[in-house]
C-alpha cells in the first residue's frame, strides 16, 4: 500500500506540473517574471502554512512531527534541499520562460531526468552505467539542437534564458535525489523555501519598478503557487521519501511529455528543428525509464542504494 501511495502521489504531481509551462506562458502576458514569482511563491507559502496548521490542529503528534526540530531530523541540510529544490527550480524556470522561447526552455528544464541518469551511471560505474551515459549524451544533443534554433539571432537575453533552464533542471535533479536520501519533513523544508522565494521575488520586483497589473490578472500566477508548486512539491516529497527512487524518477519522466503536449495544443510555435530536439530529449527519457524499470527488477536491493551507513539506516524507515 505504501508503494502504491507513493506512485499515486508522484503521478498527481506530474499532472499538476504538466500545466506549469502553459499557464506560466499565458500569465507572463500580463505580469513580469518577478511579479509572477512573487504571487506564485506567496500563494504556495500560504497554502503550505494553512495545511500545516490544519494538520497541527488535527493531531498533536502531527504538530510535533511537522514543526519540531529533533536530533534525527535533516536540520539545515533538509532546509538547504528545500531552498534549492523549490526556490531554485521555480525561480530559474520562470526566468527562463521570460527570456527564452517557452517551448525550448520548458523542454530543457524538464530534461532533469537525464541528469539523474548521469548520477545513476556514476553510482553504477562505467562498466554498468554506460547505457545511462549514452542516453544522457543523446539527450544533451537534443538540448544543443534546441539552442541551435535561430542561432544567427541568438541574443544575450535568450542565452540567459537557456542557462536558467539548465540551472532549473540541475536543481530539480538534485532535489529528487536528495529528498529520497533525507527523511524530509515537508513543512519544515518547503514552507521556509516558499517564504524565501516570496521575499526575494518581491524585492526584485520592487527594485525593477514595474507597475503591478490589476488583481484580475493574478489568477494564473496564484494557481501556479497552489497547484504545481505547493501541491506538486508536497506530493513529490512524499513520493520521493516513501517510494523507490528509481520508480519515482521514472514516473517523473512523464512530465515533459504531458507538458510539451499541452504547449503544442495551446499553440506554442514549433519549428522542425525544435521538434526534433524535443523529441530526442523525450525519447532519451523513455530510454532512461526502461533502464530504471529493468534495474528495479534485476537488482531490487541495489538500485540507487544509499552510500553511507546513516543513509542506509534512514532508507529502511
Please list the pLDDT of the chain residue by residue as tens digits (317 residues).
Answer: 567 888 889 999 999 989 999 999 999 999 999 999 999 999 999 998 898 788 777 766 555 555 555 545 556 777 788 788 878 989 999 999 999 888 888 888 877 777 877 776 666 665 666 776 777 777 777 777 766 654 445 677 788 998 999 999 899 888 877 876 776 666 667 788 899 999 999 999 999 999 999 999 999 999 999 999 899 878 887 887 777 776 777 787 677 778 888 888 888 777 777 778 778 877 776 776 666 656 555 544 444 443 333 333 333 33
pLDDT at 288: 67
- State how far the Cα of 281 lies from the Cα of 275, in Å rounded to an integer: 10
Burial 236-260 (b: 16+ CB within 10 A, else e): bbbbbbbbbbbbbbbbbbbbbbebb
* Residues 151, 14: Cα–Cα separation, whole Å: 32
In this structure, are residues 86 and 229 in contact, taking their beta carbons and an 8 Å threshold?
yes
Question: pLDDT at position 23, please?
Answer: 95
CA angle 20-282-263, nearest 5°?
A: 35
162/97 Cα distance (integer angstroms): 9
85 Cα distance to chain centroid: 7
- Residue 309: its pLDDT value, please? 34
Max distance between CA atoms of the chain, in angstroms, equals: 61
Closest CA to 296 of 238, 245, 254, 253: 245
Measuring CA to CA, which residue among 306, 290, 297 is closest to residue 249? 290
SS3 of residue 100 by DSSP: coil
The 10 Å Cβ neighbour count of residue 210 is 13
Rounded to whole angstroms, the Cα distance separating 270 from 102 reads 10
Q: Tell me the angle at which helices 272-298 and 126-148 cross, rounded to the nearest 10 degrees.
A: 160
Query: What's the pTM?
Result: 0.75
Is the separation of the CB atoms in 262 and 22 below 8 Å?
yes
* Residue 211 CB-half CA count within 13 A: 2
CA atoms within 13 A of residue 277's CA, in its CB half-sphere: 22
- Tell me the Cα Rg of the chain: 19
Amino acid at each position: 500500500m505504501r508503494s502504491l501511495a507513493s506512485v499515486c502521489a508522484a503521478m498527481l504531481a506530474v499532472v499538476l506540473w504538466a500545466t506549469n509551462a502553459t499557464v506560466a506562458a499565458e500569465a507572463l502576458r500580463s505580469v513580469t517574471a518577478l511579479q509572477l514569482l512573487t504571487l506564485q511563491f506567496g500563494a504556495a507559502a500560504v497554502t503550505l502554512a494553512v495545511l500545516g496548521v490544519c494538520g497541527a490542529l488535527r493531531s498533536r503528534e502531527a504538530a510535533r512531527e511537522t514543526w519540531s526540530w529533533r536530533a534525527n531530523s535533516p536540520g539545515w541540510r533538509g532546509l538547504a534541499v528545500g531552498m534549492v529544490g523549490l526556490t531554485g527550480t521555480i525561480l530559474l524556470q520562470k526566468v527562463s520562460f521570460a527570456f527564452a522561447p517557452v517551448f525550448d526552455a520548458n523542454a530543457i528544464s524538464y530534461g532533469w531526468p537525464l541528469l539523474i541518469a548521469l548520477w545513476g551511471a556514476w553510482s553504477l560505474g562505467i562498466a554498468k552505467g554506460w547505457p545511462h551515459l549514452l542516453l544522457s549524451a543523446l539527450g544533451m544533443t537534443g538540448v544543443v539542437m534546441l539552442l541551435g534554433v535561430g542561432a544567427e539571432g541568438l541574443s544575450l537575453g535568450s542565452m540567459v534564458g537557456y542557462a536558467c533552464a539548465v540551472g532549473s533542471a540541475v536543481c530539480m535533479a538534485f532535489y529528487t535525489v536528495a529528498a529520497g536520501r533525507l527523511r524530509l519533513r515537508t513543512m519544515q523544508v518547503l514552507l521556509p523555501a516558499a517564504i524565501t522565494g516570496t521575499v526575494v521575488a518581491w524585492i526584485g520586483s520592487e527594485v525593477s519598478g514595474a507597475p503591478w497589473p490589476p488583481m484580475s490578472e493574478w489568477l494564473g500566477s496564484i494557481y501556479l503557487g497552489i497547484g504545481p508548486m505547493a501541491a506538486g512539491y508536497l506530493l513529490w516529497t512524499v513520493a520521493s521519501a516513501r517510494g523507490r527512487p528509481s520508480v519515482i524518477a521514472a514516473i517523473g519522466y512523464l512530465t515533459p511529455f504531458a507538458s510539451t503536449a499541452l504547449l503544442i495544443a495551446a499553440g506554442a510555435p514549433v519549428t522542425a528543428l525544435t521538434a526534433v530536439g524535443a523529441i530526442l530529449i523525450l525519447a532519451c527519457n523513455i530510454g532512461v525509464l526502461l533502464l530504471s524499470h529493468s534495474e528495479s527488477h534485476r537488482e531490487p536491493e541495489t538500485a540507487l542504494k544509499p552510500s553511507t551507513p546513516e543513509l542506509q539506516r534512514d532508507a529502511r524507515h
